[in-house]
Amino acid sequence: PLPPGQPRASLAAGIGMVHQHFTLADNLSVLDNVMLGTEPLWQPFSRRAAARAKLLDASRRFGLQVDPGARVGDLSVGERQRVEILKALVSFGRKRGARILILDEPTAVLTPQESEALFATLAQMVAAGLSVIFISHKLDEVLRVSHRVAVLRAGRLIADLPAAGADKALLAEAMVGRAVAPATKRAHARGAPVVELRGPFELTLHAGELVAVAGVAGNGQQALAERLFALQVPGGVARIPQDRHALGVVGELPLWENAVLERYASPAFARFGWVRRERAMLHAKTLVERFDVRGTEAAGLWTTTRSLSGGNMQKLILARALAGDPEAKGAPALIVAHQPTWGLDIGAVAYVHQQLLDACAAGSAVLLISEDLDEIFALADRIAVMHAGRLGAARPAREWTLASIGLAMAGEHAHAA
pTM of the model as a whole:
0.76
Residue 104 phi, psi (nearest 5): -100, 110
DSSP H or E segment with residue 12: helix 7-12
- Strands (DSSP E) found in 232-381: 237-240, 270-271, 274-275, 334-338, 365-369
Q: In this structure, how many other beta carbons lie within 10 angstroms of the beta carbon of residue 139?
A: 19
Please tell me the distance from the alpha carbon of residue 262 to that of residue 324, in angstroms, as a whole number: 9
Nearest C-alpha neighbor of 194 from the set 204, 183, 186, 203? 204
pLDDT at 414: 45
317 vs 255: CA distance, rounded Å: 10
**Do the beta carbons of residue 99 and residue 131 sit within 8 Å?**
yes
Taking alpha carbons only, the member of 379, 375, 385, 378 closest to residue 407 is 385
Give the number of other CB atoms < 10 A from CB of residue 50.
Answer: 10
**How much is the pLDDT for 398?**
94
CA distance 37 to 22: 16
Q: What residue ranges of the chain have pLDDT lower than 50? A: 414-417
Q: How many residues are listed for the chain in this entry? A: 417
Q: How far apart are CA 283 and CA 259, in angstroms?
A: 8
Residue 329: CB partners within 8 Å, gap ≥ 6?
A: none
Q: What is the pLDDT of residue 92?
A: 56
- Nearest Cα to 292, choosing from 269, 273, 319, 257? 319
| Structure confidence by residue, pLDDT tens digits, 239-273 | 998 888 888 899 999 999 999 988 888 888 888 88
**pLDDT, position 96:** 61
Summarize pLDDT for 181-229 with one digit per residue, the tens: 888 988 888 999 999 988 778 999 999 999 999 998 778 888 898 888 8
At residue 413, the pLDDT reads 57
Q: Are 413 and 387 in contact (CB under 8 A)?
A: yes
pLDDT for the residue numbered 305: 93
Q: Maximum CA pair distance of the chain?
A: 73
Query: Cβ contacts of residue 70 below 8 Å, gap of 6+?
Result: 29, 30, 79
Q: Specify whether the CB–CB gap between 110 and 78 falls below 8 A.
A: yes
